[in-house]
Amino acid sequence: MTDAAHDRRDDGSEHPIRPDEDLRPRADDVGQPPPPGFWRRAADSDVFYSFVRSPTAMVAAAVTILSMLACFAAPLIAPFDPFDPAQISLWDGKLPPAWAEGGRAEYLLGTDNQGRDMLSTILYGGRLSIIVGLAAVFLGMALGVMLGVISGYLGGAVDALIMRVADVQLTIPGLLLAILINGIARTMLPPESRDELAIYVVIVAIGLTDWPQFARVVRGATLVESQKEYVLAARVIGLPSWLIMLRHVLPNVLRPVLVLATIGLALAIIAEATLSFLGQGIPPTTPSLGTLIRVGNEYLFSGLWWITFFPAIALVVLVFAVNLLGDWMRDALNPKLR
């Protein structure tokens, strides 16, 4: 992520060299050393330097990457398959963690009310939470960046319309809007396919709520970029607007988007968990972390704390790591603070 960001910045704003331009040594600069390769340049960059110098950032990145890897490898590393009825036995239900009294070694974090191994359900649930979060952020980002570039580049009535819509949407808090979109979309679906499509509905609901931030930031950056010579040059040689926006403006306005997307990922994961916790999101048949917490919450009063505690810890650690990473990235990529 950081490498890509660095690459973009180098190609970017100060001088109009673009990534696809031929950077190999030409005949007239024989004798000069060849330009350093991608990895060399990445390792020399100040973003990388700031990353190595910040233990917090490295730990946060390690935790984020490890938990994502663990969740995506859930089918390979989870001790049980929580969705395979043959591996679940109600007799093993409500077992405490292995170290507590009455716990069994094969269920490290205990089992839930249906006898599913907690560790396995958390890995599978985490995978779903991360997938929904990534997809929602990607949707919001794609929509926001597209509208932002169009808004900033074309200006005029289009710009006014898009930005007013963004303003109106920002009046209502995102989470509330997500609950509303989600609720309306669910009622418009036929009841029998509601559970199947729930994941997509949640992705769309969260994605639709966070586009205005992307649009605002990208519009600002586009306004700056479109005044620069390389855009004027592209216009002079008669390229169509959509091509200029896509090939010339877009790659140069993506830098701030990276920070927004990282923080947005943490927010999207929280939003999904909240929707699921409120019973509006992912159904219990394929639980996400939020659904697991909701189900476990019903057993909290009978003292079965582990059914809700471990998914909650997993969620908080994941969100915290992503947040720390976003925090560091904002400082590292902000030229004012250097």
**Residue numbers at the binding site for another protein (CB under 8 A):** 164, 167-168, 171-173, 175-176, 179-180, 183-184, 187-188, 266, 270, 273-274, 277-280, 293, 297, 300-301, 303, 305, 308, 312, 315-316, 319-320, 323-324, 327
What token pair was written down for 268? 């999207």
Nearer to another protein, 175 or 239 (CB): 175
Smallest gap from Cβ 112 to another protein, in A, equals 16
Nearer to another protein, 46 or 327 (CB): 327
User: CB of 176: closest distance to another protein in angstroms?
Assistant: 5
Buried b (16+ CB within 10 A) or exposed e, 42-68: beebebbebbeebeebeebbebbeebb
**In the complex with another protein, which residue's Cβ is closer, 55 or 303?**
303
What whole-number distance in Å separates Cα of residue 121 and Cα of residue 45?
41
| CB closer to another protein out of 327 and 331 | 327
Which helix H or strand E contains 7, and what residues bound it? helix 2-11
Burial 300-334 (b: 16+ CB within 10 A, else e): eeeebbbbbbbbbebbeebbebbbbbbbbbbebbe
Of 266, 263, 231, 250, nearest to 331 (Cα)?
263
- Residue whose CB is less far from another protein, 35 or 173: 173
CB of 85 to another protein, least distance (A): 29
State the nearest-atom distance from the C-beta of 63 to another protein, in Å. Answer: 12
Contact 99, 306 (CB under 8 A): no
CB of 296 to another protein, least distance (A): 9
Residue closer to another protein by CB (options 187, 193) is 187
Q: CB of residue 48 vs another protein: minimum separation in angstroms?
A: 23
CB of 284 to another protein, least distance (A): 15
What amino acid occupies position 53?
R
Closer Cβ to another protein, 153 or 306, answer by number: 306
Smallest CA-to-CA distance from 112 within 298, 313, 282, 326 is with 298
Distances (CA, A) of 23 to 27, 34, 38, 144: 12, 9, 12, 32
- State how far the Cα of 237 lies from the Cα of 244, in Å rounded to an integer: 11
**Residue 167 or 196 having the CB closest to another protein:** 167
In sequence order, what DSSP letters do the residues of 192-211 get, joined into one string?
Answer: GGHHHHHHHHHHHHHHHHSH
Residue 325 in contact with residue 57, Cβ under 8 Å? yes
In angstroms, give the least distance from the CB of 11 to another protein: 33
Rounded to a whole number of angstroms, the CA Rg of the chain reads 24
